[in-house]
Structure 1
């Protein structure tokens, strides 16, 4: 049985922090694979700056030299207004029957799910396991304790809480802003992605 983490984000662009986070989680949680899952640029809840084809190409460049990392474009091909994390996890469970799957997310998303702000929150929590990364000073244990949905499904294996140990919060937004303002974010993202952005004139 393999242990697989599902790591969803816009990756607009993928950053060195994304890669470092995935590598840290894979190491600490003994994951065999981390699946990078970029969302569609048709999502109504995100103001996407880049076409899917560019984000997909940069992601493939970024993870090319790491056999633990896999890119999957499943959500890019869905109707963005109808795809939810619960459905995505059901899809991957069918793709990897018998394997142990975890949804990787930040503590801020744990708060949102615990408050019932996600579609199919109950089904998602009841039928999946989660790796939750510390973020923004959020008390993850208190978040679980204060949510009836989370605490009543906390069987000791439902939530794997991870404090990365370093506060590295350089965001894709910051990198886009640097490119647009003539800044130099070269060492905040993979060199191959930096060169691709310059070549294609992205984020101007």
Structure 2
């Protein structure tokens, strides 16, 4: 069987789904426009508490980069909010975060979607989340068709800010098998964030350099969910930092008025994995399990 061909018979799901879950694919382009291109689906994993214009802008920057620098064709884009069990300080409930992401995707974009699979269950590692997308799109849906009807395997790629690559290059934060799975099998598009040194970070990940795509911001944007929450706690306006439907939702539900302690996304990831490490050691007495998840702020 060729690398781009697919079996048309779905196998039993290897994943446990939340109650009443259905994989969203209403905006997934099921047919390639250009049969010479490789179909790609972008997945951004994050807290999205709340989702900001920068989260959405990341997808548009990725589109421009892929059109100009690769032989890929984007057929879908997904926001995948983390579970409440991520345990990041001040993390709003998945119910509200998913609803805000849906408002942002449906009312401000013509192609983005929100997958709640990760949000409404136990904490899932990034590698497992990408496997889930691979299974749903390539096994259950049968991949992407060419105009002539040939089935192609859609490549799943992680989309994240450059602070992600910094944690990946830091020894002991991510497990080596997960790094190889994410960067070796799937690949990542890294969007430049203000104040980050992408070149230094990628030097430490040189074995996967061919699957790491660095996207520079031509217009700098340093809006973050952390800053937005700080504004809201101080009673300051966040309009034009977030999509208007998200601002309206926050105001209607009185969210983030008392957000509690804040932490960077990187420290939130480490906190979550430290908890998992303690639980594992308590139950099995086995060795250290390293942090495997990171989300853009």
TM tier, smaller: 0.7 to 0.9
Contact 1:5 1:35 in 2 (8 A): yes
CA deviations 1:136-166 (Å, max 9, x no partner) are 3333233222x2xx21222x3x111100212
1:18-167 alignment to 2 at 5 Å?
18-30=55-67, 31-44=74-87, 46-65=88-107, 66-80=109-123, 83-97=124-138, 98-116=153-171, 117-119=173-175, 120-145=178-203, 147=204, 150-154=205-209, 156=210, 158-167=211-220
Q: Matched residues in 2 for 1:126 and 1:21: separation?
A: 22
Q: Offset at 1:32?
A: 2.5
Structure 1 residue 200, shift from structure 2 partner: 0.6
SS of structure 2 residue aligned to 1:25: helix
Q: Superposition RMSD on alpha carbons, in Å?
A: 1.7
1:6 paired residue number: 43
C-alpha displacement of 1:178: 1.4
Aligned equivalents of 1:159, 1:67: Cα separation in 2: 27
Give the greater-gyration-radius structure (CA). 2
Give the TM-score, by structure 1 length: 0.88
Secondary structure of the structure 2 residue equivalent to 1:193: helix
8 Å contact from structure 2 (residues 162, 190) kept in 1? yes
| Runs of 4+ with >4 A deviation | none
Q: Which runs of 5+ in 2 are unaligned?
A: 1-37, 68-73, 139-152, 258-297
Counterparts in 2 of 1:176 and 1:137: CA distance versus 1, 3 Å: closer
Please state how far the C-alpha of 1:126 moved relative to its aligned partner. Answer: 2.3
Q: Secondary structure at the match of 2:84?
A: coil
Q: Which residue of 2 aligns with 1:196?
A: 249
- CA offset at residue 53 of structure 1? 1.0
Contact 1:14 1:62 in 2 (8 A): yes
1:26 touches 1:33 (CA, 8 Å); kept in 2? no
Unaligned ranges ≥5, structure 1: none
For residues 142 and 49 of structure 1, what CA distance do their matches in structure 2 show? 30
Q: CA deviation at 1:104?
A: 0.8
User: Is residue 16 from structure 1 mapped to residue 50 from structure 2 by the alignment?
Assistant: no
TM-score by length of 2: 0.62
Q: Could you tell me how far apart the structure 1 residues matched to 2:231 and 2:128 are?
A: 35
Measure how far apart 1:77 and its partner are.
2.5
